């Protein structure tokens, strides 16, 4: 990625802004990867993330059953404890739920939905927040005031409340929850984008671009945007984790995803009714999967924060 | 004073905007007649009901009627309980406030000593364990953590009840389950569940504050003067780390009320949060609208109070922004 125009350490001052392309654009990315790999904890997080994502997307091929194909379910297999062998001879390593669904398969399918919702919502929020933040920073004045007032107002309400209000009004559904998550998250991105862009705007390369007579939009998207990306990427990773957690919470409460799209939150909610009778696995294992996913993303995000921080570049 | 009035006007304007948004949102969703009327009703009966409810009037007229009623405290009757929606919510508010209060107490009473310890014994095993625990406290989704609490402490160990508020006692005219043993027994798990996230925050704030204050001249001077360690920690350090913690507690009260939705639903705590989730499920529209307006008003008031408190606690903060 060309996000690091200003980062190569070598060029003499003054030359850097005008001729960055020539200075081997591969290098900053290589440095980021090398620095990232120095932390074993972050590598464990990355490995976990890769395995979880791969398992979630390969779910139809690697799970023992399709948990939403009713023909493959048998009510005789319902609520089996972990490790028990079912009626049809399949063993249920993580147990089965009230409908005789294999928990392992259900978790992988659920992870897939949770991941898709989190990533789609967060990416859209990133684009929305980024554009508004950049516009606010670049144009300043009244546009800036209006956008930032809106952001401040937004951030004074807790995310779960905003999402709950929206879903109470719109009802549950895949599109609705993605919309709610975007509404919840854009303001965080907008604030970060504006703050970064404001400090980047002072730099010489913007002045240089202006004196070359480039248009406002060209400077905004061609020059400011790439340089604002690194801190936003860190925020983006961490926000995916919180989007997934929020979606799980809302689905657990019954206002998020409908029963036809069972994410991890819904699986945990289904298991909750059996917790009191000691059948812990229906809630426990999806929860562990959710926790591992969130921790893995946070570990990666934490390391990215250290690696991409311009102050740490030597 | 000018500032206070300006903030009040802003808050009023905000409340008006939010009431409009909530109303417009509900308006856009569909026709309540479909829920209220018998499916076999004729077209004429349907039209009569629509006229009776005022649903045939233009949008702005409906909004002003709604606003007028709301200002008189009339949000309509709940479809489920057939009682005024606002009354239902106000009746449940004490339970929620009590839960939020208990959670804040837990977060502060446990969080400050733990954070102090982690800051003073920086790098020790105990300190690292505390910090690792606080990271875990951030990461574990609240609702799942509640289920684990129930699994361990109610189902496996049988120490705490699973749901409900228990007996409610009265003390100085305040009715709360904090005043009876049975009530305390019931509130323990939900309060811990609600507190964990904030506990982690308080620990981190107390720890970083301690480390910062410890390095300053007046602490070194106190040591040089030969003051006892306990006096240094309890008087000089503690006082200086309290300011950010007090602000955090003030600001997080609103967040706790919002997050109580999750805790209340799981522990069947009879507060506002459980009411709203039940009402959303049962399509009890008046209660949903009333809850949304009440919570928005609570939030506007809380934000206003926190802003005003800021300028009181720390005179360096000038919120006008005009004069620096």
Predicted confidence at residue A76, as pLDDT, reads 62
A124 vs A262, residue with greater confidence: A124
Q: Does B262 contact A249 at a Cβ distance shorter than 8 Å? A: yes
Does residue A86 come out as left (phi exceeding 0), alpha (psi in the -120 to 50 range) or beta? beta
CB contact under 8 A, B141 and A164: no
CA distance B55 to B285: 15
Residues of B in contact with A268 (CB under 8 A): 143-144, 147
A16 in any annotated domain: no
Chain A (192-221) residues lying within 8 Å, Cβ to Cβ, of chain B: none
DSSP state of A89: S
Listed range (A30-39, A139-148, B144-153) with the worst mean pLDDT: A30-39
The closest of A278, A49, A298, A260 to A172, measured between CA atoms, is: A260
ipTM over 0.85: no
Domains of chain B: 85-323 (1.10.3720.10)
In a domain, A150, yes or no: yes
| Cβ(A102)–Cβ(A92) below 8 Å | yes
A10 band by pLDDT with thresholds 50, 70 and 90: very low
Distance (Å, whole) CA A267 – CA A285 = 9
Residue A263 falls within a domain, yes or no?
yes
pLDDT at A257 over 60: yes
Would the CB atoms of B151 and A291 count as touching at under 8 Å? no
Q: In terms of residue numbers, what domain contains A263?
A: 35-58+101-312
Count of domains for chain A:
1
**Contact A53/B at CB under 8 A:** no
Taking CB atoms and an 8 Å limit, are A252 and B143 in contact across chains? Answer: yes
Record: contact A276-B295, CB cut-off 8 A: no
Ranges in chain B, pLDDT < 50: 320-324
CB–CB contacts below 8 A, A to B: 93
> Is A259 part of any domain?
yes
Main-chain dihedrals φ then ψ at residue B271, nearest 5 degrees: -110, -170
Q: How far, in Å, CA of B39 to CA of B34, rounded?
A: 8
pLDDT of B258 reads: 79
Determine the average pLDDT of the residues in A58-63: 78
CB-count exposure of residue A97 (10 Å: 0-12, 13-18, 19+): buried
* pLDDT at residue A124 is higher than 90: yes
Place of tokens 């903030």: B7
Cβ <8 Å between B262 and A160: yes
Query: Looking at chain B, which residue has its C-alpha nearest residue A287?
Result: B144
Is there a contact between A156 and B292 if contact means CB atoms under 8 Å apart? no
What pLDDT digit, counting tens, does each position of B203-232 carry? Answer: 888 888 888 887 778 888 888 888 887 887
- Residues of chain A contacting residue B295, judged by C-beta atoms under 8 Å apart: 161
Residue A18 pLDDT: 47
Q: Is A47 on the interface with B (CB under 8 A)?
A: no
Is A283 at the interface with chain B, CB within 8 A? yes
Q: Is A74 helix (H, G, I), strand (E, B) or coil?
A: coil
Rounded to whole angstroms, how far apart are CA atoms A69 and B78? 40
Taking CB atoms and an 8 Å limit, are B25 and A169 in contact across chains?
Answer: yes
Asked if the Cβ–Cβ distance from B147 to A272 is below 8 Å, we say yes
Is B148's CB within 8 Å of A272's CB?
Answer: no
Q: Which positions ≥6 away from A16 have C-beta within 8 Å?
A: A6, A8, A205
B163 min Cα distance to partner chain A (Å): 11
Written in H, E and C, the secondary structure of chain B is CHHHHHHHHHHHHHHHHHHHHHHHHHHHHCCCHHHHCCCCCCHHHHHHHHHHHCCCCCHHHHHHHHHHHHHCCCCCECCCCCCEHHHHHHHHHHHHHHHHHHHHHHHHHHHHHHHHHHHHCCCCHHHHHHHHHHHHHHHCCHHHHHHHHHHHHHHHCCCCCCCCCCCCEEECCEEEHHHCHHHHHHHHHHHHHHHHHHHHHHHHHHHHHHHHHHCCHHHHHHHHHCCCHHHHHHHHHHHHHHHHHHHHHHHHHHHHHHHHHHHHHHHCCCCHHHHHHHHHHCCCHHHHHHHHHHHHHHHHHHHHHHHHHHHHHCCCCCCCCCCC
Residues of B in contact with A177 (CB under 8 A): none
- The per-residue pLDDT for A128 is 93
Q: Enumerate residues 6+ apart whose C-beta is below 8 A from A175.
A: none
Question: Residue B25 and residue A168: Cα distance in Å, rounded?
Answer: 10
Which residue, chain included where needed, has tokens 């000018």? B2
What element of type H or E holds A85? strand A84-85
- Distance between CA atoms of A33 and A124, rounded to whole angstroms? 26
Under a CB-based contact definition with an 8 Å cutoff, are residues B254 and B304 in contact? Answer: no
| Main-chain dihedrals φ then ψ at residue A84, nearest 5 degrees | -70, 150
Residues of A in contact with B142 (CB under 8 A): 249
- Does residue A272 form part of some domain? yes
Tokens of B43: 């077209």
Higher pLDDT among residues A73 and A249, named by residue = A249
Contact residues on chain B for A242, CB-CB shorter than 8 A:
none
A 144-173 residues inside an 8 A Cβ radius of B: 153, 156-158, 160-161, 164-171
The answer to whether B75 touches B288, Cβ cutoff 8 Å, is no
Q: Where residue A304 sits, what CATH number does that domain have?
A: 1.10.3720.10
pLDDT surpasses 80 at A193: yes
Say if strands B174-176 and B169-171 run parallel, antiparallel, or are unpaired.
antiparallel
Question: Which residues in chain A are contacts of B267 at CB distance < 8 A?
Answer: none
Q: Is residue A248 part of a domain?
A: yes
Binary contact (B277, A255; C-beta < 8 A): yes
User: Which residue in A has a C-alpha nearest to residue B141's C-alpha?
Assistant: A245
Task: Note whether residue A291 is domain-resident.
Answer: yes
> Measured between CA atoms, how close is A252 to chain B, in angstroms?
8
Which alpha helices (DSSP H) does chain A contain, by range? 26-37, 40-57, 59-62, 103-139, 141-155, 159-170, 174-201, 204-211, 216-218, 225-253, 264-275, 281-308
Query: Can you give the pLDDT at residue A25?
Result: 52
Residue A126's pLDDT is 93
3-state secondary structure of A227: helix
At A122 the pLDDT is 93
Residues of A in contact with B143 (CB under 8 A): 248-249, 252-253, 265, 268
A294 Cβ under 8 Å from any chain B Cβ: yes
Q: What is the mean pLDDT of residues A175-200?
A: 88
Q: Provide the 3-class DSSP secondary structure of residue A96.
A: strand
* Best residue of B139, B293, B319 to probe chain A, by most A CBs closer than 10 Å: B139
Report the gap between the CA of B320 and the closest CA in chain A (Å): 15
Q: Which of A294, A310, A304, A107 is nearest to A227 (CA)?
A: A310
Confidence at residue B243, expressed as pLDDT on a 0 to 100 scale: 74
What span, in angstroms and rounded, lies between the C-alpha atoms of B164 and B139?
27
Residues in chain A with CB shorter than 8 Å from the CB of B147 are 268, 271-272, 275, 283-284, 287
């Amino acid at each position: 990625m060309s996000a690091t125009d200003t980062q190569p350490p070598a060029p003499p001052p003054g030359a850097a802004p005008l001729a960055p392309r020539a200075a081997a654009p591969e290098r900053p990315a290589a440095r980021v990867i090398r620095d990232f790999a120095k932390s074993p904890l972050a590598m464990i997080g990355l490995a976990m993330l890769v395995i979880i994502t791969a398992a979630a997307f390969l779910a139809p091929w690697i799970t023992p059953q399709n948990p939403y194909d009713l023909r493959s379910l048998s009510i005789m297999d319902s609520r089996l404890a972990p490790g028990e062998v079912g009626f049809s001879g399949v063993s249920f390593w993580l147990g089965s739920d009230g409908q005789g669904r294999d928990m392992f398969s259900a978790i992988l399918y659920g992870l897939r939905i949770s991941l898709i919702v989190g990533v789609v919502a967060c990416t859209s929020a990133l684009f929305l927040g980024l554009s508004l933040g950049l516009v606010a920073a670049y144009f300043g004045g009244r546009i800036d005031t209006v956008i930032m007032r809106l952001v401040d107002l937004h951030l004074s309400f807790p995310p779960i409340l905003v999402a709950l209000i929206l879903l109470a009004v719109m009802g549950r559904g895949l599109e609705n929850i993605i919309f709610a998550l975007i509404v919840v998250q854009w303001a965080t991105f907008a604030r970060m984008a504006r703050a970064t862009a404001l400090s980047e705007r002072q730099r010489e390369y913007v002045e240089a671009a202006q004196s070359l007579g480039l248009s406002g939009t060209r400077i905004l998207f061609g020059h400011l945007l790439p340089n604002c990306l690194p801190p936003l990427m860190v925020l983006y990773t961490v926000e995916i984790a919180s989007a997934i957690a929020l979606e799980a919470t809302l689905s657990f409460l019954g206002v998020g995803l409908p029963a036809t799209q069972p994410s991890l939150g819904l699986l945990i909610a289904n298991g909750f009714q059996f917790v009191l009778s000691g059948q812990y696995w229906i809630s426990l294992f999806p929860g562990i999967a959710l926790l591992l996913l969130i921790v893995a993303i946070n570990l990666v995000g934490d390391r990215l924060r250290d690696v991409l921080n311009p102050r740490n570049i030597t | 004073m000018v500032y206070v009035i300006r903030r009040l006007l802003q808050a009023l304007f905000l409340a008006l905007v939010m009431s409009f948004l909530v109303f417009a949102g509900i308006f856009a969703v569909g026709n309540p007649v479909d829920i209220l009327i018998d499916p076999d009703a004729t077209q004429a009966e349907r039209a009569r009901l629509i006229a009776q409810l005022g649903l045939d009037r233009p949008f702005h007229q409906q909004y002003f009627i709604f606003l007028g009623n709301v200002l008189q405290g009339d949000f309509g009757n709940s479809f489920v309980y057939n009682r005024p929606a606002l009354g239902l919510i106000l009746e449940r508010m004490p339970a929620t406030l009590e839960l939020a209060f208990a959670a804040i107490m837990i977060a502060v009473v446990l969080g400050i000593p733990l954070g102090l310890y982690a800051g003073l014994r920086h790098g020790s095993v105990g300190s690292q364990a505390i910090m690792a625990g606080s990271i875990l406290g951030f990461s574990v989704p609240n609702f799942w953590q509640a289920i684990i609490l129930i699994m361990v402490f109610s189902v496996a160990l049988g120490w705490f009840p699973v749901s409900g508020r228990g007996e409610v006692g009265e003390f100085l005219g305040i009715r709360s389950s904090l005043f009876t043993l049975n009530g305390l027994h019931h509130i323990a798990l939900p309060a811990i569940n609600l507190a964990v996230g904030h506990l982690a925050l308080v620990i981190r704030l107390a720890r970083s504050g301690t480390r910062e204050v410890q390095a300053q001249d007046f602490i070194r001077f106190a040591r040089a003067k030969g003051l006892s360690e306990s006096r240094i920690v309890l008087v000089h350090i503690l006082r200086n780390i309290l300011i950010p913690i007090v602000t955090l507690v003030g600001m997080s009260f609103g967040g706790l009320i919002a997050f109580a939705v999750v805790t209340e639903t799981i522990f069947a705590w009879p507060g506002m949060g459980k009411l709203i989730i039940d009402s959303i499920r049962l399509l009890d529209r008046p209660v949903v609208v009333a809850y949304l307006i009440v919570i928005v008003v609570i939030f506007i008031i809380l934000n206003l109070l926190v802003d005003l408190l800021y300028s009181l606690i720390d005179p360096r903060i000038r919120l006008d922004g005009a004069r620096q």
